[in-house]
């Protein structure tokens, strides 16, 4: 196994997609925060060193007429041999420590191994996650095992995300399985086509929450609760236009 060097201070490979249950950022991505009504103020601060990066985000939120302030602090820094450590603290909810082993070449593919520990602020619940991702020219695949611990009980979940590339087509599959109860909680699908250098279309079939019971094959609404169609076109060098249609 040989190591592939990342840029010092760069975000670790295993946390570039957050939350994990999203596909990697696509050109259809639209900013969805309601700054006028629910988030009247958001302030961000970033500091980069030669081997580390610090992000601080302060958000003033308004809900049911009451204001609240939340802070979100992210810090990642390089360790020897291309490894890295990432921490995230949200004042209102949790603490997370994440270790990334870096990209390593094995059998002609780049592999990334990682693990993390998560706990809420009261230390009453915890979660341990270990994963492995492979990166190939035509296919990126990521798998992780998550173990939730609460009140002495252990719950196991398997997460899978794959993005494949064939000519001008892209296929993404994302699934989450509750292993204790044998329930498929998520089974999202992304299909996209690059028509030409200026036009792309995307079809997303998603269930936004986490199911507690298995979907029924005869009822499409139990398989996907949201179907989204996107078109993104480049009008000139500096301007893009997009159209999004949602089916529920």
Class of residue 86 by CB neighbours under 10 A (exposed 0-12, middle 13-18, buried 19+): buried
The token duo for 35 is: 């700054």
Backbone angles phi, psi at 23, to 5 degrees: -80, 155
Q: pLDDT tens digits for 138-191?
A: 999 999 999 999 988 999 999 999 999 999 999 999 999 999 999 999 999 999
Span 81-95, average pLDDT: 88
The ranges assigned to domains in the chain are: 1-120
Of 185, 187, 184, which Cα lies nearest the Cα of 173? 187
Beta carbons of 84 and 102 less than 8 angstroms apart = yes
Q: What is the pLDDT of residue 231?
A: 95
Q: What is the pLDDT of residue 70?
A: 85
- Rounded CA gap, 121 and 92, in Å? 8
Q: pLDDT tens digits for 221-237?
A: 889 999 999 999 998 88
- Rounded CA gap, 103 and 91, in Å? 31
């Amino acid at each position: 196994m040989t190591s592939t060097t990342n840029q010092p201070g760069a975000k670790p490979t295993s946390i570039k997609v957050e939350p994990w249950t999203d596909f990697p950022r696509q050109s259809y991505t639209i900013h969805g925060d309601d700054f006028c009504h629910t988030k009247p103020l958001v302030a961000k601060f970033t500091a980069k060193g030669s081997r580390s990066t610090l992000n601080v985000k302060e958000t003033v939120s308004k809900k049911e007429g009451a204001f609240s302030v939340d802070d979100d602090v992210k810090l990642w820094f390089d360790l020897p041999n291309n490894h890295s450590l990432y921490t995230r603290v949200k004042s209102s909810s949790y603490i997370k420590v994440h270790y990334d082993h870096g990209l390593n070449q094995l059998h002609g593919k780049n592999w990334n191994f990682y693990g993390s520990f998560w706990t809420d602020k009261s230390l009453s619940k915890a979660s341990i996650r270990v994963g492995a991702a492979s990166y190939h020219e035509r296919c990126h695949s990521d798998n992780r095992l998550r173990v939730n611990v609460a009140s002495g009980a252990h719950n196991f979940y398997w997460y899978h995300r794959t993005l494949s590339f064939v000519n001008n087509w892209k296929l993404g599959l994302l699934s989450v399985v509750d292993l204790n109860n044998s329930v498929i909680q998520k089974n999202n699908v992304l299909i996209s086509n690059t028509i030409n250098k200026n036009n792309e279309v995307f079809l997303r079939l998603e269930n936004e929450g986490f199911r507690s019971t298995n979907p029924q094959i005869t009822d499409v609404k139990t398989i996907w609760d949201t179907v989204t169609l996107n078109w993104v076109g480049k009008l000139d060098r500096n301007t893009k236009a997009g159209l999004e249609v949602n089916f529920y």
